[in-house]
């Protein structure tokens, strides 16, 4: 029952994120083989931008699909696409919108910055002691959109908001390193797993930045579930 509820939750989230993920769910068994594990990967990440005054970690949900490709014994290549994924920061100081009315109502508020990407990790993953694994490698990203959300309080918290499109201020490509560790929730070779990852960008994402580089960083708490693995094994048998 719990497994069914988790799958339903993933399906609903995937549909809102991208039709590509939904298609992957439907054909998951065809994407699995003895040496390839396919599934969904999602959770929450806490993003931050370096060298921005007052910037705090911004909690953001993410969702994508993954492939674990066995290279040799317990060594694997972990890759895929995080279809719904953002970088950003929380509680930035408000700045001028070149509109006296807007500047006045948001002067004592704050700004949340979100920059959306398609992230592609390319990690070497080593599994040990049956349940555990460590992983590390580069992650590259393609920027899709970005905005600053100005927030303030009239009666209730954050009941006043204004979004400003900032995607053109950011480069199309970001890249950095991703490291992590996790644990399987079953002894089965292909089973659900959870873990933690940390990303640090090596590219200043801001176009023509005259100040200090504003590298992205993010702490990920994730849950992964193979899709169609048991069906693929049954077909093979």
For residue 41, what is the domain's CATH number? 2.40.160.20
User: In sequence order, which residues have a C-beta less than 8 Å from that of residue 153 and are 6 or more positions away?
Assistant: 109, 159, 160
Q: Helices 19-26 and 2-17, interaxial angle, to 10°?
A: 140
* Domain, as residue range, for 124: 2-236
Name the nearest CA neighbour of 191 among 200, 182, 178.
182
Beta strand 173-184 with 132-152 is antiparallel
Q: Domain tally for the chain? A: 1
> SS3 letters for 36-83?
EEEEEEEEEEEEEECCCCCCECEEEEEEEEEEEEEEECCEEEEEEEEE
Query: Which two tokens mark 139?
Result: 């992650």
Q: Are 217 and 115 in contact (CB under 8 A)?
A: no
Q: What pLDDT, on a 0 to 100 scale, did the predictor assign at position 159?
A: 83
Residues in the chain where the model's pLDDT stays below 50: 1-18, 232, 234
Q: What pLDDT, on a 0 to 100 scale, did the predictor assign at position 4?
A: 47
Q: What pLDDT, on a 0 to 100 scale, did the predictor assign at position 223?
A: 96
Q: What pLDDT, on a 0 to 100 scale, did the predictor assign at position 154?
A: 82
Q: What pLDDT, on a 0 to 100 scale, did the predictor assign at position 174?
A: 97
Q: What pLDDT, on a 0 to 100 scale, did the predictor assign at position 199?
A: 98
Q: Are 36 and 69 in contact (CB under 8 A)?
A: yes
Angstrom CA distances, 9 to 16, 37, 43, 66, 73, stand at 11, 20, 12, 17, 33
Name the nearest CA neighbour of 203 among 145, 113, 138.
138
- 116-131 burial string, b = 16+ CB within 10 Å, else e? bbbbbbebebebeeee
Instruction: Say how far apart CA 216 and CA 119 lie, in whole Å.
Output: 13
């Amino acid at each position: 029952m719990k497994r069914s509820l988790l799958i339903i939750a993933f399906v609903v989230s995937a549909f809102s994120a991208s039709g590509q993920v939904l298609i992957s769910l439907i054909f998951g068994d065809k994407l699995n083989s003895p040496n390839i594990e396919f599934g969904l990967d999602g959770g929450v990440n806490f993003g931050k931008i370096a060298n921005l005054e007052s910037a705090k970690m911004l909690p953001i949900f993410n969702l994508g699909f993954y492939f674990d490709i066995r290279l040799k014994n317990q060594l694997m290549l972990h890759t895929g696409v995080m279809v719904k994924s953002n970088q950003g920061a929380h509680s930035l100081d408000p700045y001028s919108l070149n509109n006296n009315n807007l500047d006045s109502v948001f002067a004592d508020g704050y700004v949340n910055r979100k920059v959306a990407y398609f992230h592609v990790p390319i990690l070497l993953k080593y599994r040990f002691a049956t349940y555990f694994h460590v992983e590390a490698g580069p992650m590259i990203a393609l920027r899709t959109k970005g905005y600053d959300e100005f927030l303030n309080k009239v009666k209730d918290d954050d009941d006043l908001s204004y979004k400003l499109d900032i995607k053109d201020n950011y480069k199309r490509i970001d890249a950095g390193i991703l490291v992590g560790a996790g644990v399987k929730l079953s002894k089965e070779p292909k089973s659900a797993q959870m873990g933690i990852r940390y990303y640090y960008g090596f590219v200043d994402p801001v176009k023509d930045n005259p100040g200090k580089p504003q590298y992205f960083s993010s702490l990920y708490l994730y849950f992964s579930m193979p899709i169609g693995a048991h069906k693929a094994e049954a077909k093979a048998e």
